[in-house]
Structure formats: C-alpha cells, structure tokens
C-alpha cells in the first residue's frame, strides 16, 4: 500500500476521502465550492428581487398608489423603467425593448462565463450579485416590457440615486466590489514593483 493511501483511511461513507483530508482543500474542490456558493448567491438575489417586485406590484398595489412613505428619507415610488439599471439607456418601443433585452442578456452571459472561470471567492461573490440582479431585471423586461423600480432614497429634495430596485442595488454593489478589488490589486502590484 502506498503512503498516500495510508494517510487517508478508506471510508465507504466518504469514498472521495474529503472528511479524512486534513490539509488545504484541493484546487478543484475549492473551485467547485466557489462556483456553488456564487450560483446560490445569484439565485438568492434573483429570488429576492422577484419577491420584492411582486409584493410592491400586487399586495401593495404601488402602481395605483404611486408612492408610499416608509420613513422621512425613503419612499416606495412606482416607476416603469424602460432603460437599464437606474434608468440609463432608455428604450421606447418594441425594437428598443428587445435590443435592450439582447444587450443585457449578452452582458449576463459574459458575467456568467466570467463567474464560471473565476477562482477567487470575493470576485465570484461580486459577479454573482451582478448576475442575480441582471437576471431579475431581464425577466421583468421580457414579461412586461419594463423593469419595476420602487426604492426612492432621498434627503429632502436631494436624491443621490434614481429610483431603483433590489436587482439594481445588487448590480451596483457587485460592480463596485469588482472595481475596488481591481484597484487594490493594481496598487498592490505597484507597491511590490517599487520595493
């Protein structure tokens, strides 16, 4: 018997020997866990986005009430967003709608492929936020021709953001995490080169 086999006892309940493995996880297993976690995060963001949109649209009937004040600085305000996240790139008509669906679907596919290849857990988490948010908005646009935005953060008359939704927030947070990480990596490499 080889030394490797003696180090990891055979266990019929654990044929891969994962429980008996005491060192760091093999790269392939780490990658599978990272992917699985990222896909779960993307699904949870997607599900939360759809659930909140459903509550706002149906039980709260926000389209008919137009606005509901929650606290002094936050309202629920009904907005049919025909553009992409935060109301950018507005598209009127069926051609614009389907071009926007195609564009956002292409971006979502790119993010999904990037996520699948990504080995770093923090980048995978950021990509999962972007993917879950994008899929939530794409589904709504395919079904209704617009995305429902409702979160209206304001301080008096000043609004730091356009009206948004959970999907928009997830996309924004994911992109910011990727940018911060890219800047930190660049600064880290620059410091190493200077030394």
List, by residue number, the catalytic residues.
149, 168
Q: How far is CA 73 from the centre of its chain?
A: 25
User: Is-contact 147 165, C-beta < 8 A?
Assistant: yes
Do 9 and 20 form a contact (C-beta atoms < 8 A)?
Answer: yes
Spatial separation of the C-alpha atoms in residues 88 and 106, rounded to whole Å: 17
Q: Please, are residues 115 and 38 in contact by the beta-carbon 8 Å criterion?
A: yes
Q: In whole angstroms, give the CA distance from residue 38 to residue 123.
A: 9
Spell out where 26-99 has E strands. Answer: 67-71, 74-81
Q: Which of 81, 80, 120 is CA-nearest to residue 104?
A: 81
Q: Cβ neighbours of residue 45 under 8 Å, at least 6 residues apart?
A: 128, 129, 131, 132, 133, 136, 166, 167, 170
Q: Which residues, including other chains, have CB under 8 Å from residue 11's CB and lie 6 or more apart?
A: 17, 19, 20
């Amino acid at each position: 018997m080889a030394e490797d086999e003696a180090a990891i006892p055979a266990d019929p309940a654990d044929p891969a020997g994962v429980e008996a493995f005491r060192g760091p996880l093999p790269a392939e297993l780490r990658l599978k866990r990272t992917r699985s976690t990222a896909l779960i995060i993307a699904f949870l963001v997607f599900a939360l986005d759809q659930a909140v949109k459903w509550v706002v649209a149906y039980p709260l009937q926000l389209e008919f009430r137009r606005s509901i004040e929650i606290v002094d600085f936050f309202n629920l305000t009904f907005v049919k967003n025909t553009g992409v996240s935060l109301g950018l790139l507005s598209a009127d008509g069926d051609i614009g709608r389907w071009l926007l669906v195609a564009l956002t679907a292409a971006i979502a596919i790119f993010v999904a492929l990037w996520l699948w290849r990504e080995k770093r857990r923090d980048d995978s988490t950021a990509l999962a936020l972007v993917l879950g948010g994008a899929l939530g908005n794409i589904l709504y646009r395919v079904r209704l021709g617009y995305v429902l935005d409702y979160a209206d953060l304001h301080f008096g008359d000043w609004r730091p953001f356009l009206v948004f939704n959970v999907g928009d927030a997830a996309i924004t947070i994911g992109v910011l995490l990727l940018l911060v990480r890219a800047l930190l990596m660049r600064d880290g490499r620059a410091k190493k080169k200077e030394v």
